[in-house]
A and B are shown apart, each in its own frame.
Chain A
C-alpha cells in the first residue's frame, strides 16, 4: 500500500515529447492526437519573427492529477472510476457506461474515449504495466532526458519525491477547486 504521486521539475522540460511517445508505447494508448494520457502544453514565444524571445516560451508537462478528492470519481454513476489501493484513480472498463460525465467533470481535461473498448481511459501511473511488473518508475519518468518527473510514494518519508517536496517550493494545478492533486510542480 502506497500513496503514489509525482513531482515535476517543469522548467527543465524541453518539449521533446518523448514522454508522450513512451506512454503510448508502454500502455498501448491508441494513436491519434486526441488520444493521449499525458501531454506537454506550450505557449508561443513572444515577439515577431525574426525577433522572437525564445526564453519566453515555456512548457508544462501534464496528465491526470491523481486527485485525492477526484471530481471524476464523485460523478461516476456506476463506480467505474475508483481509487486503487495505491490511491491511483483508475477506470474499471467493465463498469464504464460511457456517459462522459467524468470527462466533463475533470478540471484538467485528462480523460478521453478509448474507441477499442468504448470506455473512458486515463493515466494510471503505469499501474497495469510497469508497476505490475515490479518496476518503480513510470514510462514517462523513465524516458525523460532532462529528468522532469519524479514518481514515488508520498507516504514514505525516505522517498525521493518526499525529499523533493520537503526541500523545494511547489504548486498544484487548479488547487482552488479542492481536488487535492498528487501532481506537484516544482518551482
Chain B
C-alpha cells in the first residue's frame, strides 16, 4: 500500500472505514440503491452467462438494444466530465480549478461502468481485445472509438494521479492529451451512427458533433449531482462560483442543442424523403422524444436556469437530475430510432402484414445489466471519495 501511496497520494483508510458511512437518510437510500443495482447487475450477468444473447430482446432487425444505449450513456458522461474537469486544470479557468479532481475521477468511473456494460453486449469481448490489435479494421468507426477510448482511459488515470500529487504542469499535459483523445473517441462514437449509409435518419455529420455537445451538457448535469450530494446543498463559496458559471454555460449549450435538434428535424422532414421523413414523424410522435428528450433533457433545465437567472444552485441540482433522465432517453432513442425503419419492407412469411416499424423493448436481463451498471458507478465513485482527497485543487 505504501508503494501505491508513493505513486498516488491517498487518505488513510482501513477496510472498516471504507465500509462505514454517516447514517443520514440520503446516504442510506444511496446505499440501498447501490446494493440493489449491483444485485441486479449480477443477476443480469448470470442470465447472460446461462442464456447468452437469448437473454436479450435484440433481433436480426434490431441488433442493438438497451445495452448499447447504456454504454453510450456512460461514455458520454465520461467525456462530459472530462471536459468539465479540463476547464480548470487544462484551460486554467480559476472558478473550475476546485472541480477538476472530482470530475476526472467521475470520468474514470463512468467509463469503467460503460466498459462493464459493453463487455456483456459484445459477443466475444476477449476476442475483441486480441483481434483489435492483430487485425485492426481501420475503416471501422467502432475500431477507432474502442481503441481511442482505451487510450483515453489511460490518460485520464495518469492525469488523475498528477492531480492528486498536485503536479499541475503534468496534469495539464496529460489532461489536454486525454481531452483531445477523448473528443476524438467520442466523435467516432457519433461516427458509428453517422457512417451508416443504410440508415438515412442517422447518416451524416449530425451525430459526431451532437455527441460532443451533449457530452458537455451531461458533464455539467453530473457535476451538479456530484456536488449536490457531496455538500448536501450547502455549497462552499469556491464551489458556488464554479457551479454558477457552469449553469450559465449549460443554458447556452441547451439553447444550441435545441437549435440543432430543431434543424435536424426540419431538414429530416422536409421533402418527404422515404426512410427519413417518415422516421422523423415517428420520432416526433413518440413519448420518449417529447417527454424524455425535449421536456426532461432540454426544456425543464433550460427554463429553470434561465428564469432563475443562475442564482438557485440547489434548484439546478434537481433540474440536473431531471436532465439526466432526459439524457438517458436521448441515448436510448438514438439507438432505437436508428433501427426503427425496416430495411426489408416486404413480408417474408405468409399470414403477416409487411413490416412498418421495428418493435423493440428491452428484456429483464438488459434492464438489469444496463441500469445495474449505474450501481458500479455509484460503488466506484463512493470508494474513490473515501480513498482520495477530492476537495480543493485551487493551485
- Please give the residue numbers on chain A whose beta carbons come within 8 Å of chain B beta carbons, in ascending order: 33-34, 36, 39-44, 60, 71, 74-80, 94-101, 103-109, 111-113, 115, 118-119, 174, 177-178
B198 touching A71, Cβ below 8 Å: yes
Number of cross-chain contacts by CB at 8 Å? 131
Contact flag A103-B135 (CB < 8 Å), given A33-B349, A113-B53 = no
In the bound complex, residues from chain B placing their C-beta under 8 Å from that of A33 are 348-349
CB distance from A55 to the nearest CB of B (A): 17
* Closest B residue, CB atoms, query A60: B346
B195 touching A75, Cβ below 8 Å: yes
* Closest A residue, CB atoms, query B126: A97
Q: Which residues of B (336-353) have their CB < 8 Å from a CB of A?
A: 338-339, 342-349, 353
In the complex, 15 of the A-B residue pairs with CB atoms within 8 angstroms, ordered by the A residue number, are: A33-B348, A34-B59, A41-B345, A42-B348, A75-B139, A76-B140, A77-B128, A77-B137, A80-B131, A104-B199, A105-B196, A111-B60, A118-B53, A174-B198, A177-B198
A136 CA to B137 CA, complexed, in Å? 32
Is B125 in the interface zone, CB < 8 Å from A? Answer: yes
A78 touching B135, Cβ below 8 Å: yes
CB distance from B326 to the nearest CB of A (A): 25
A97 CA to B353 CA, complexed, in Å? 34
Counting from the closest, the 4 A-B pairs by CB-CB distance are: A98-B123, A41-B346, A107-B198, A78-B131
* Closest A residue, CB atoms, query B65: A100
A78 CA to B138 CA, complexed, in Å? 9
B146 touching A77, Cβ below 8 Å: yes
Is B197 in the interface zone, CB < 8 Å from A? Answer: yes
Contact flag A99-B196 (CB < 8 Å), given A34-B59, A41-B348, A109-B60 = no
In the bound complex, residues from chain A placing their C-beta under 8 Å from that of B125 are 97
Residue in B122, B127, B128, B338 whose beta carbon sits within 8 Å of that of A104 in the complex: B338
Is B354 in the interface zone, CB < 8 Å from A? Answer: yes
Number of interface residues of B (CB under 8 A): 44
B346 touching A78, Cβ below 8 Å: no
Contact flag A98-B131 (CB < 8 Å), given A105-B196, A115-B53, A177-B197 = no
Contact flag A76-B63 (CB < 8 Å), given A44-B354, A98-B123 = no
A44 touching B140, Cβ below 8 Å: no
In the bound complex, residues from chain B placing their C-beta under 8 Å from that of A96 are 123-124, 127
Is B64 in the interface zone, CB < 8 Å from A? Answer: yes
B146 touching A119, Cβ below 8 Å: no
In the bound complex, residues from chain B placing their C-beta under 8 Å from that of A108 are 343-344
* Closest A residue, CB atoms, query B61: A109
In the bound complex, residues from chain B placing their C-beta under 8 Å from that of A77 are 128, 132, 136-137, 140, 142-143, 146
A118 touching B354, Cβ below 8 Å: no
B124 touching A97, Cβ below 8 Å: yes
* Closest B residue, CB atoms, query A178: B197
* Closest B residue, CB atoms, query A112: B60
* Closest B residue, CB atoms, query A118: B123
Residue in A71, A94, A99 whose beta carbon sits within 8 Å of that of B142 in the complex: A99
In the bound complex, residues from chain B placing their C-beta under 8 Å from that of A75 are 137, 139-142, 195
B131 touching A97, Cβ below 8 Å: yes
B347 touching A44, Cβ below 8 Å: yes
B343 touching A107, Cβ below 8 Å: yes
Is B52 in the interface zone, CB < 8 Å from A? Answer: yes
In the bound complex, residues from chain A placing their C-beta under 8 Å from that of B59 are 34
A40 CA to B349 CA, complexed, in Å? 8
In the bound complex, residues from chain A placing their C-beta under 8 Å from that of B124 are 96-98, 118-119
In the bound complex, residues from chain A placing their C-beta under 8 Å from that of B136 are 77-79
In the bound complex, residues from chain A placing their C-beta under 8 Å from that of B123 are 96-99, 113, 118-119
* Closest A residue, CB atoms, query B146: A77
Residue picked from A33, A36, A94, A103, most chain B C-beta under 10 Å: A103
A97 touching B127, Cβ below 8 Å: yes
